[in-house]
């Protein structure tokens, strides 16, 4: 099975459960942040749009959103909830992004989805395509976890209890390859209906590496925050919101 077919199979498997698994993450601060960057009546492109957890509230703020995702099943979940919002989608590979003559005021990728590209070469290719698809003065935003020595990356294998109730048990099994920068998760749920396994594989990127890849794609870092509320990043931050502009633009 080739890489894209494997990714499609993986995320099709996640599709019926994705919103429930992430229901504790409020998408509205992200939508507010992104709507401000896109500007009134702006055009936005979401990479790995998934079930539309950010795209739908962003569209409620007057932004037209186009989304790309490798999983038809995830997009079907999005359209089940879309209603008449201006959200348009297509199945594709964000490393091979082709927007034709369309240009966007804002391109963004959230929930560490940039890491699902799995190789540095594919991550670099994605950023090159992003630069080509931005309008002059446009912005690219990436939200992702910050890999840190404490916690997840301290050990190569971990098993964590995510949730324990009288009705079910949820576990996360994690393995880490620090040389390849690959983390593999298996989200495991036991309940009276049986056992459910949901896999995740990602190649994380350190901030310095991300900035170098962006610079090679002619993207300049203009801001970096610890969350959608614009909290400053510190050594203890667990995630980052990084904003880039095409090289030569005035921040």
List the domains of the chain with CATH numbers. Answer: 3-146+206-246 (3.40.50.150), 151-202 (2.20.25.570)
Residues in the chain: 251
Q: Which one, of 173, 171, 167, 172, lies nearest residue 191 by Cα?
A: 167
Check pLDDT > 90 for residue 24.
no
Specify the pLDDT at position 203.
95
* Cβ contact 77:18 at 8 Å: yes
Identify the pLDDT of residue 123.
98
Q: Whole-model pTM? A: 0.90
- Calpha distance 70→53 (Å, rounded): 16
Largest CA distance in the chain: 58
| pLDDT tens-place string over residues 87-103 | 999 999 999 999 999 99
Average pLDDT score over the chain: 90
DSSP 192-216: TTEEEEEEEEEE---HHHHHHHHHH
pLDDT of res. 150: 47
pLDDT at 153: 53
How many CB atoms neighbour CB 69 within 10 A? 27
Whether residue 142 is predicted with pLDDT greater than 60 in this model: the reply is yes
The pLDDT tens digits of the residues spanning 160-205 come to 787 888 888 888 888 888 889 999 888 888 888 888 778 888 999 9
């Amino acid at each position: 099975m080739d890489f894209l077919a494997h990714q499609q199979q993986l995320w099709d498997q996640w599709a019926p459960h994705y919103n429930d698994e992430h229901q504790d993450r409020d998408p509205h601060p992200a939508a507010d942040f992104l709507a401000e960057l896109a500007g009134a009546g702006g055009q936005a492109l979401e990479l790995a749009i998934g079930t539309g957890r950010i795209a739908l509230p962003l569209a409620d703020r007057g932004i037209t959103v186009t989304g790309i995702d490798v999983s038809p099943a995830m997009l079907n979940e999005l359209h089940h909830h879309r209603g008449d919002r201006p959200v348009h989608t297509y199945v594709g590979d964000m490393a091979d992004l082709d927007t034709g003559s369309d240009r966007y005021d804002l391109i963004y990728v959230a929930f560490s989805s940039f890491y699902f590209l799995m190789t540095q070469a594919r991550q670099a290719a994605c950023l090159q395509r992003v630069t080509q698809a931005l309008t002059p003065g446009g912005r690219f935003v990436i939200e992702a976890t910050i890999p840190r020595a404490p916690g997840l990356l301290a050990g190569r294998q971990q098993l964590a209890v995510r949730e324990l109730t009288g009705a079910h048990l949820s576990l996360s099994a994690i393995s880490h390859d620090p040389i390849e920068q690959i983390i593999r998760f298996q989200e495991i749920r036991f309940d009276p209906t049986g056992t459910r396994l949901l896999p995740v594989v990602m190649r994380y990127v350190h901030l310095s590496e991300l900035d170098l890849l962006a610079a090679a794609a002619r993207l300049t870092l203009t801001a970096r925050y610890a969350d959608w509320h614009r909290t400053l990043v510190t050594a203890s931050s667990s995630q980052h919101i990084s904003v880039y502009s095409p090289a030569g633009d005035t921040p």
